[in-house]
Structure formats: C-alpha cells, structure tokens
Amino acid sequence: MLKSLTSCLFILLLTVHTAAANEILTALKINSFLSTIEEVKALSDEMSPEGKKQLTDIQASAMQGNDFTPYRSGVTILKKSYPYDYTKLSDTVGSYGFNSPENWAQTGDDMMAAYVSVKMGDTAQQTMKSMSANMNPEMMAMLPPEAKATIQKTKAMLNTLEKVPAENKKVVAPLMDKIETTMNNVAD
C-alpha cells in the first residue's frame, strides 16, 4: 500500500502546473494537520455519495490544473456547495489549532508538495529537467498528442517542485515516515 500511495502521489504531481503561494511550514503545523486526517476522513465518509464524488472530482482536477491545491479545492467546494459539511470541517480543524479550513488546506497542500519534492530528491528532479529541456520543438512536433501532454505535465511538475521552499523540505524530511504512515492509514 505504501508503494501505491507513493506512486499515486508521484503520478498526481506529474499533472501539476504551478504551485500556489507556499507558506513556510513548521513541524507543529504538519503534526497538527496529520492529527486531523482520520477525523477529516470520517467527515468525508459521512457525506452523501454525490457530495463525495463531487469532492473527489474537484480534488483530482486541482491536481491536474494550474495549481497543486487538492485540499484547498476541496474546502472551496465544501464552502460553496456543502455549508453544513464545511462547518463540521471548520469545527474539527479548529480543535487542532487551525484558524480556518482554508488555513488547514494550505498546510496540507504545501506539506504534500514538499513531501513529493523530498521523496523525488534533487538528483531525480535535475535528471528529469535535463531530459525535458532536450526536447526541441521539432522533436515535440513528431510526438503523438499523449506524449506531448505527458512532457508538458512533467515540465509543469518540475516547475512546481522548484518552487517548494527549502525550509519546507527541511521541515518535512524528518517527518516523511509519519506522513506516509498517516496517509496510508486513511487510504486503506
């Protein structure tokens, strides 16, 4: 399951275009975020099937669009379309020190971007960047549309990872196992 989560996160980040403004994370904020995950998962399990599907679709789309904002996009849809669930989320994350669901979601999005950046490592990122930079316009023109899309997504993912603050990677690095374990536990 750990490998599938890691693979899933990597694949999802391949679809990212640019990271939204990152906040500087602290170990306390990350640990607080991770402490909320089981309760937040329980809240999402209580949603109507239509609500869960809409939330899942929006979050997946947020990982394929211009920003890596799956948590923030989910909070936005809750606030707009499911105010009762938004209020329950607000109460839950508020009890862990977050001043709003939006603040909680920002922490989650930034944590996951830093997690993937640390997981990939600088060498892998530089290798991928070098490979994608070597694709000149003539070579790109010969590729099928699916291959072009994959290369563009890879470039976008690399741009996102380059924007992760070094401070966030430093804070996330010693928490990698805890992040993986927590996220795997709710994915089961």
- The string of pLDDT tens digits covering residues 32-64 is 999 999 999 999 889 888 877 777 777 666 555
Q: Do 15 and 63 touch, CB atoms closer than 8 A? A: yes
Half-sphere exposure of 175 (CA within 13 A, CB side): 23
Q: How many residues does the chain have?
A: 188
| Assigned token pair, 23 | 């906040």
pLDDT at res. 188 = 66
Residue 27 confidence (pLDDT): 97
- Give pLDDT, residue 132: 67
Q: Where are the domains of the chain?
A: 2-187
- The residue ranges of the chain whose pLDDT is under 50 are 1-20, 65
* Nearest residue to 120 via CA among 156, 168, 155, 169: 169
Cα–Cα distance between 89 and 79 in angstroms, integer? 10
The predicted model scores a pTM of 0.77
